[in-house]
Structure 1
Amino acid sequence: MTIPGFGYQRIEVADGVSLNAAVGGQGSPIVLLHGFPQTHLIWRHVAASLATDHTVICPDLRGYGDSDKPAETDGTTYSKRTMAADIVALAEALGHSQFALVGHDRGALVAFRAGLDHPDKITHLACLDVLPTLDMWDAMHGVNAAVAFHLYLMAQPPGLPEQLIASAPDAFFGYFLDLWIKDPAAIPTDVRAAYLKASREAIPSIVADYRASAGVDITHDREDLAAGNKLTMPVAVVQQDWGSALGFDAAALWSAWAPNLHHSTTTAGHFMAEESPEEITKTIRSLTD
């Protein structure tokens, strides 16, 4: 499946690694990053709206969709630092030395890392429905952590997680598509089928992405925290109000990283770019325009 009206390119971003990207519109550039268990198609509504006056770039992340899926080698192949460098290289290959960056879920963690590692490249940053990696793990404790069982499963050493998921991939990935949505009609049957197919074909790389967030990504975040590094650009965060349910102040956690922060909550489900595209488009425009 494709985003109507968008052209598609495969762009090499690192040695032997190319990303699939949908590109449309004209104007100041905005890069939109998807999350789990999805592809760039999550942005089909938002991208079409933004493309009326922006150049909109929607890649499949490394390891997802139609982008390359290199084998994990040294524990950093799917670090958010590596994946963020992919996005900077992609934008530069398309002629953009600076750009606004929006990420959802896993893509938001990549966007967060890009903002810390490449502050001269990222003019504006928006993150949808995540906490920074360090704060995410700290927020998960006791029985409340059961809602994020997949984080713990995919944090295990290589072998068992991949085997378990591969034994029933549609049940595993479909579980999250069902659990995290409030309006099932927001993901039509054909789009759901595309997400499931893409996920079935990417089990090792998806697990490697999650495993990195229980390892090297934590190291990188701790280093930035110790150095006092912050997100220097304007930052917008939209989340479900799960902080109140799990006992933490999401806005305060984000403020520690982003001094210039606009934080808001939504009544939409996790897949808010599909469930409430007008709301998300408005948020992006209010940040960037």
Structure 2
Amino acid sequence: MPATTPPPEEKRSIFWPLVLGGMIAGGIGFAASELNVFNTRVDTDRISQSLDAQGERLAALEAVEPTAPETPDLSGIEAGIASIETMVGEFEERLKELEGRPVVAGDGSAQYAQDLAALQTSVEEQKAEIDRLLENAQSIEEATSEAAQRADVQAALAKIMSAMTTGSSFESEVGDLQNSGISDVPEALAGPAADGVATLLKLQTDYPDQARAALSTARASGADDGEAGLGGFLKRQLGARSVAPRDGAGPDAVLSRAEAAVRDGQISQALTEIETLPPEAQDAMADWIAAARARADAEAAVQDLSQRLTAN
């Protein structure tokens, strides 16, 4: 019986599987890029702009040379007081001389009494003028002293702001505030003065890692981002997070808005957002929160002191 020849094997085309595989890989790559799965995308333009802005601000602060208030010229007032004092002295001598003369009966006695009364009135008027000039000179001196004190305080505040920009100590500047009459220096300035506060750049640089840790903790504790679809699935499976601000009460949305605020230098606004995170998520970024709060409180204290100076 002749052997049966097997039917020729059908050759399958590999074209469409390759196309389909390429589309899937491309889609995953695109999604990973857009979702910043591995947090490798850096907004270099925003960071560059932030650095430029901080550099300009620091240069402006360093260029400020507080000008001491000009000492008023009191020579005219002093000369006027000296002249009046001389006149009053002469009047008093004449008054004593007249008072020591014997009173002569007759028409001259009435004239004498009239002249004596006029002289006494003139002496009192001159004394009142001296008192007025002395009070005016004292007011000018006090105003000059207050202006000098305000200039010292403003200079100290400018140096503190410069130190906060560079992250250096501002302990001596707090001492300058106290020496300038600010006895109630806020604890937000006095507390971190020796070591300084975190720079804005450091807070911006450290935030992505801190946000990733907080989001991972929140998801592990069962917090739901509330985002459906492929994007939400990939984020949850791959640990991705949003880098553009978006609406929502979920941890990912909150952290995205906080990050936008941090990039813009609005640390207080970022902290307000972070306060709505679950407690365990906040604990995961506790160090960053403490550093950010110290800086925000110090900035608020400087602004408050500056406003007090303006109000006074």
TM, length-normalised to structure 2: 0.19
Please identify which structure carries the higher helix content.
2
In terms of Rg, which structure is larger? Answer: 2
TM, length-normalised to structure 1: 0.20
Please identify which structure carries the higher strand content.
1
